[in-house]
C-alpha cells in the first residue's frame, strides 16, 4: 500500500462477502483498486442484498435435469475422502465457497445423493446459464473455482467506472 501511495496512487483494499452482492455464495474476496491522486478516490460499492440468495433458490430448477455435458450439468463421482469437499449444501442459506482445488470433492447437493454439478457450481458463482464452459469436468471445475464471481466483478467494475466518469 505504501509503495503504491508513494508512486502517486490512492489505494483502496476492501474485503467483500459475495452474498452481500447477489451471489448465492458465502465466499470472501479482496479487491485492491488504485487510482491516481489526480483522480477521485475509489469508493467500494455498497452491499446490494439485504437477504442472501439461498442455494435452493439458485439451483433447485436443475434438480430434475439429467446429466448434460454440453450444459456442464455433470458432477464428480468422487467418494468421501477425509474432510475435503464433504459438506452438503444447506438449502436455505447461500452456498459454500466454490474452490478450484477440490479435485472432484466438491460439496454435495442439499437434497440429491450426489455432488453438485458444474452448472450448479457456476450458478453459485453467479455465472449466467448462457456462459458455456468448453472443457472437461476437472478443467471446468478449476475455471469455476478460480473465477471472480461475475456479479461481484460487475459491481466493482461499475464503481471503478464511476471514478472514471467523475474524472
For residue 31, tell me if it sits in a domain: yes
Q: pLDDT at residue 128 above 90?
A: yes
d(CA 139, CA 97): 17
d(CA 84, CA 80): 8
For residue 8, tell me if it sits in a domain: yes
For residue 156, tell me if it sits in a domain: yes
Torsion angle, alpha carbons of 19, 24, 26, 27, to 10: -90
For residue 13, tell me if it sits in a domain: yes
pLDDT 10s digits, 30-68: 999 999 999 999 999 999 999 999 999 999 999 999 999
Q: Could you tell me which residues come within 8 angstroms of residue 70 by beta carbon, excluding any fewer than 6 positions away? A: 132
Q: pLDDT at residue 5 above 70?
A: yes
C-alpha cell belonging to residue 142: 478449476
Total domain count, the chain:
1
Using a 10 angstrom Cβ sphere, with 0-12 exposed, 13-18 middle and 19 or more buried, the burial of residue 162 is: middle
d(CA 107, CA 130): 23
Q: pLDDT at residue 24 above 80?
A: yes
For residue 128, tell me if it sits in a domain: no
For residue 62, tell me if it sits in a domain: no
Closest alpha carbon to 102 in 115, 120, 119, 89: 115
Q: pLDDT at residue 156 above 70?
A: yes
Tell me the HSE value of 16 on the side-chain side, using a 13 A CA sphere: 29
pLDDT 10s digits, 72-119: 999 888 877 666 667 899 999 999 998 876 666 788 999 999 999 999
Domain extent at residue 13: 2-50+149-166
For residue 76, tell me if it sits in a domain: no
For residue 18, tell me if it sits in a domain: yes
Q: pLDDT at residue 143 above 70?
A: yes
Amino acid at each position: 500500500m505504501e509503495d503504491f501511495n508513494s508512486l502517486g496512487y490512492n489505494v483502496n483494499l476492501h474485503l467483500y462477502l459475495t452474498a452481500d452482492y447477489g451471489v448465492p455464495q458465502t465466499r470472501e474476496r479482496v479487491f485492491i483498486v488504485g487510482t491516481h491522486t489526480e483522480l477521485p478516490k475509489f469508493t467500494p460499492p455498497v452491499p446490494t442484498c439485504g437477504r442472501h440468495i439461498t442455494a435452493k433458490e439458485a439451483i433447485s430448477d436443475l434438480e430434475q435435469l439429467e446429466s448434460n455435458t454440453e450444459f456442464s450439468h455433470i458432477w464428480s463421482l468422487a467418494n468421501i475422502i477425509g474432510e475435503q469437499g464433504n459438506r452438503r449444501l444447506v438449502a436455505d442459506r447461500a452456498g459454500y465457497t466454490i474452490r478450484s482445488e477440490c479435485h472432484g470433492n466438491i460439496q454435495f447437493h442439499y437434497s440429491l445423493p450426489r455432488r453438485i454439478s458444474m452448472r450448479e457450481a457456476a450458478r453459485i458463482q453467479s455465472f449466467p446459464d448462457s456462459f458455456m464452459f468448453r472443457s472437461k469436468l476437472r478443467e471446468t471445475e478449476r475455471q469455476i473455482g478460480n473465477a471472480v464471481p461475475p456479479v461481484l466483478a460487475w459491481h466493482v467494475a461499475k464503481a471503478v467506472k464511476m471514478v472514471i466518469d467523475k474524472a
